[in-house]
């Protein structure tokens, strides 16, 4: 009886090893050249054990979209992220972050529910730095992948306006609270 | 140093009114209550007085400078006629410095009043009553989904008299003449930062004027026209009367009209 159990465990372990190897190689295969097919392929892989590759897939899909700019790419990525969220690979919050970071004029980096003096001003330089990095992602998502110059320039303008307004607002906040000066 | 300060001061003042601007669309943010508007109007009036005061002197300086150049006086050391012209130029220059010195305290008061009132409004309205999220929405509020907006041309627009710029600015914020597509928050921020800088520069300039006047009085004995003098006069003309253009708007997006945008359910 013990022998049979041990044999069974041995076989199970071996099978698991084989499965891991298959999944791993399956996850790393090159994606098809067409963006729609690539998205479909990615979703299949994410459903079959390749969840850990999500970010890498997302970047690959973005690169493919950059090579094939199309205003519909925004929709493709939105739908893809919604499906991936439904599959449970990423949370809704993550899906929102991915989408908005690349395809929305608004900046994920400038958000929060506390007042500006308390939340953004103490880390003003960091907020601006994050927004500048995010603009680079919007350049990929909006300008290159979606060929949406108008939206990208709006984001660019928004960044500049936010920089100006934050600078003034934070100075005004600091003037009203001298102890807070220098917390940037 | 003096010329740079004067030029910077006036440039800063002109830039403050340059901030074209605004009219609210979304949530009501009271950045420009009557008191702030009155401060701006007063600054406009002080600037106009300064212009009127300096215009005749600068015209005279121009004429004298032209005569000096046309007489090939540059480098003509020892020529009595040229020395006389240089002295006259120096006197007029001193007159300009004195006129500025007289008007600067009033300008300083007006600028400081505007700065203080704007500072308070910015702190209350954008700092304490607004979150980063709503601030962004406020800024983006003027940019419609269908595209084009007339963004304020910030900082550096030239070609208009200083007092006219203040008047334009007053009109914009007081009557929302230019439609609902511009951001009051941006205008307020722009004006406030410029006023803050101007305030510092005015103090520094006041200190410098005494020193420059003394130097010029010394130069009078030698009849020199210094490059500093030319630079100051050039700067004052450019800034007060907008005689040259140095427009550097923060962005000029090629907005497209009539596009309908895809709105993802994931959008913020």
Which among B126, B132, B185 has the least Cβ separation from residue A119?
A: B132
Q: Given this model, what pLDDT does residue B174 score? A: 73
- B248 vs A contacts (CB less than 8 Å): none
CB B256 within 8 A of CB B147: yes
Chain A residue with CA closest to B191: the answer is A168
DSSP states of A91-134: -HHHHHHHHHHHH-SS-TTS--SS-HHHHTGGGHHHHHHHHHHH
pLDDT tens for residues A139-164?
A: 999 999 999 999 999 999 999 999 99
Measured in angstroms, the CA of A100 and the nearest CA of chain B are apart by 6
Dist. CA B23–CA B219, nearest whole Å: 52
Average pLDDT, chain A: 87
Interface probe, candidates B31, B144, B186, B264, chain A, greatest A C-beta count within 10 A? B264
Among candidates A152, A164, A177, A97, which has minimal Cα distance to A124?
A164
The per-residue b/e assignment along B61-80, b for 16 or more CB within 10 angstroms, e otherwise, is beebbeebeeeebeeeeeee
Residues 21-60 of A with CB under 8 A from B: none
Q: Say if the Cβ atoms of A116 and B143 lie within 8 Å.
A: no
Q: Degrees (nearest 5) of the Cα angle B112, B159, B6? A: 45
Provide, as residue numbers in chain A, all residues whose Cβ is less than 8 Å from the Cβ of B126: 116, 165, 168-169, 172
The answer to whether the Cβ–Cβ distance between A100 and B261 falls below 8 Å is: no
A179 Cα to chain B: minimum distance (Å): 15
A48-104: per-residue pLDDT in tens? Answer: 999 999 999 999 999 999 999 999 999 999 999 999 999 999 999 999 999 999 999
ipTM confidence score: 0.80
How many Å lie between the alpha carbon of B197 and the closest alpha carbon of chain A? 12
Q: Please tell me the predicted confidence (pLDDT) of residue B31.
A: 87
pLDDT over 80 at B75, yes or no: no
Q: Tell me, what's the pLDDT at A183?
A: 41
Closest Cα in chain A, distance from residue B129 (Å): 6
Q: Is A155 on the interface with B (CB under 8 A)?
A: no
Whether chain A has a CB inside 8 Å of the CB on B5: the answer is no
pTM above 0.90, yes or no: no
A168 with B192: Cβ contact below 8 A: yes
């Amino acid at each position: 009886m013990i022998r049979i159990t041990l044999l069974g465990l041995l076989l199970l372990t071996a099978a698991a090893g084989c499965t891991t190897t298959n999944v791993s190689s399956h996850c790393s295969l090159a994606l098809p050249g067409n963006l729609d097919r690539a998205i479909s392929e990615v979703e299949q892989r994410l459903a079959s054990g390749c969840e850990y590759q999500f970010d890498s897939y997302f970047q690959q899909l973005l690169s493919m979209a950059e090579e094939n700019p199309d205003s519909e790419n925004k929709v493709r990525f939105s739908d893809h992220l919604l499906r991936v969220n439904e599959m449970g690979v990423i949370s809704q919050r993550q899906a929102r972050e991915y989408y908005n970071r690349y395809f929305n004029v608004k900046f994920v980096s400038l958000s929060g529910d506390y007042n500006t003096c308390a939340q953004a001003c103490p880390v003003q330089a960091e907020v601006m730095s994050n927004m500048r990095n995010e603009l680079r992602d919007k350049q990929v998502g909006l300008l290159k992948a979606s060929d949406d110059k108008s939206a990208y320039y709006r984001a660019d303008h928004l960044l500049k306006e936010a920089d100006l307004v934050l600078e003034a607002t934070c100075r005004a906040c600091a003037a009203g609270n001298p102890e807070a000066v220098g917390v940037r | 140093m003096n010329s740079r300060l004067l030029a910077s001061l006036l440039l800063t003042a002109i830039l403050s009114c340059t901030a074209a601007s605004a009219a609210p669309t979304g949530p009501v943010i009271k950045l420009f209550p009557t008191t702030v508007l009155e401060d701006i109007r007063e600054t406009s009036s002080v600037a106009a007085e300064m212009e009127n005061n300096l215009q005749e002197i600068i015209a005279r300086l121009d004429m004298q400078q032209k005569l000096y150049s046309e007489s090939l006086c540059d480098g003509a050391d020892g020529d009595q006629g040229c020395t006389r012209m240089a002295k006259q130029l120096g006197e007029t220059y001193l007159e300009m410095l004195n006129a500025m010195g007289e008007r600067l305290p009033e300008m300083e008061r007006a600028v400081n009043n505007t700065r203080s009132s704007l500072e308070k409004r910015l702190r209350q309205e954008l700092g304490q009553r607004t979150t980063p999220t709503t601030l962004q929405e406020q800024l983006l509020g003027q940019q419609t989904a269908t595209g084009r907006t007339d963004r304020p041309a910030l900082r550096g627009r030239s070609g208009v008299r200083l007092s006219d710029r203040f008047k334009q600015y007053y009109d914009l914020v007081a009557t929302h003449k230019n439609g609902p597509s511009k951001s009051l928050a941006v205008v307020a921020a722009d004006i406030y930062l410029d006023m803050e800088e101007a305030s510092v520069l005015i103090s520094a300039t006041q200190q410098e004027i005494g020193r420059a006047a003394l130097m010029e009085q010394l130069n009078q004995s030698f009849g020199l026209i210094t490059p500093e003098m030319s630079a100051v006069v050039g700067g004052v003309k450019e800034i007060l009367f907008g005689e040259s253009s140095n427009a550097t708007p923060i962005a000029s997006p090629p907005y497209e009209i009539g596009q309908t945008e895809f709105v993802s359910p994931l959008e913020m």
